[in-house]
Chain A
């Protein structure tokens, strides 16, 4: 039998990385939830959470405990297997993309040479969770939410992939580390501004955030696909959503904003993570501001915008990139 001391070090390293990433996912959700409520408050000229801790900073911790302690209600007419499966399905695949994201030059769990493809394929499973949850709830609001989620994600997955393709054409690699390495001198946001704009818009739509939050539009669909969920089931959806936002922002940072590059710091190969996180949270702050300052689009506007504007523009962008790269 193998003992801990004879276990291969790579395996131990991966286990530690997964543990750190899972704890970070919870921390990120708490921070994002707090930020979101605080920013929403100030946008609407009120204070947001103020009671628990200094300026309500512990509010989300308390909320988390409440959600975990609550009973998970399972309505009678739901499909029990699907109802239980959906939150797990929404939470599990979101852990995996964080394994290949290079937080700094040396802080990366695994440098896959197909890293970008890995992230894209893992995030595509998320729609499955929404569908399973929406259908399994046996509730027409959930069902409508799920159906909207599919139409939306099919529409916006194409421009998001096409805008990534422009970067891949320039760097000739799918490894996230090499893509960041190629931005030593100039960030790709300056060379590919159109791709960046398309990526951010589609990223907001992919994570089902306002102004594209049709799958969970509360004024029309109660809460969309997670209407029937309570307690831990709801928390897993919540965690999945915020982690997806983080992934989208990190990929944007890696592809367009130069990843860990910034003014040099001591121990730069590790402390590059400071710059990385600053950029990621700037993007997340931007996404939250958009959510609370723009009205929701109508569903036909949403689909028309994707198919009639984003897809053609990203195709033109790829054409121009290919010609310029070839010259």
Chain B
């Protein structure tokens, strides 16, 4: 192995470690803010894995959308309505639905394992395909146009839903709307 391959392998394990640590913090943290930060770390690790796989575009999009936007909006929500630490503690200590949770997680895990084993893995091509932005854009707007547009409809519904929820809250308090 050359020096670069050592670096690449090291980076791969570092990214995997980031994902695992981040996910662990996400499920174990007592404070909601720490949970979101753990999520941000895990998502950063995922971005790193995209980088290792050679897709700079996906890496940057992952950082821009998930770390830079989704996590920030989550934190914003938490700051506006903060959960007292005691309630968070109680949520973690009470193990009411532990059987349900474990079985749901196990089902998802086994489904993933089955699909992993059933897939015919092809080895990476020596010459990678066309991953340029132009190619991606053409794929999005020609081949996968329907899926692409459906995602935007979901986002639109989410925005409308948020506005409706926020409006109701406002009217109930009897505050002037402007």
A residues contacting B by CB (< 8 A) are 2, 6-8, 11, 79, 81-82, 112-114, 117-118, 120-122, 124-125, 127-128, 131-132, 135, 143, 146-147, 150-151, 153-154, 174
Contact = CB atoms under 8 A, between A and B. Distances in A.
B56 to A, nearest CB: 5
4 closest residue pairs by CB, A with B: A124-B68, A121-B64, A121-B63, A121-B60
B79 A147 contact: yes
Contacts of A113: 132
A131 B36 CA distance: 12
B72 A131 contact: yes
Contacts of A8: 3-4
Contacts of A117: 57, 60-61, 64
A127 B68 contact: yes
A2 to B, nearest CB: 5
21 contacts: A7-B3, A79-B33, A81-B34, A114-B56, A117-B57, A117-B61, A121-B61, A121-B64, A124-B64, A124-B67, A124-B68, A127-B68, A128-B40, A128-B67, A128-B68, A128-B71, A131-B79, A132-B37, A135-B79, A150-B75, A154-B73
Contacts of B69: 124, 154
B148 interface: no
B80 to A, nearest CB: 8
Given A114-B133, A132-B37, A147-B79, A124 B56 contact: no
B115 to A, nearest CB: 31
B104 to A, nearest CB: 31
Nearest to A123: B68
Contacts of A143: 79
Interface residues of B, number: 26
B156 interface: no
Please classify the interface of chain A as helix (H, G, I), strand (E, B), loop, or mixed, using the class held by over half of its residues.
Answer: helix
A127 B72 contact: yes
Nearest to A134: B79
Nearest to B132: A113
A113 B132 CA distance: 9
B13 interface: no
Given A8-B4, A135-B79, A146-B79, A124 B63 contact: yes
Given A121-B68, A154-B72, 19 more contacts: A8-B4, A11-B3, A79-B31, A79-B33, A117-B57, A117-B61, A117-B64, A120-B60, A120-B64, A122-B63, A124-B68, A125-B63, A127-B68, A127-B72, A128-B71, A131-B79, A147-B79, A150-B75, A154-B69
Given A8-B3, A128-B71, A114 B60 contact: yes
A207 B90 CA distance: 40
Which of B33, B57, B64, B133 has the most chain A CB atoms inside 10 A of its CB? B64
Contacts of A11: 3, 7
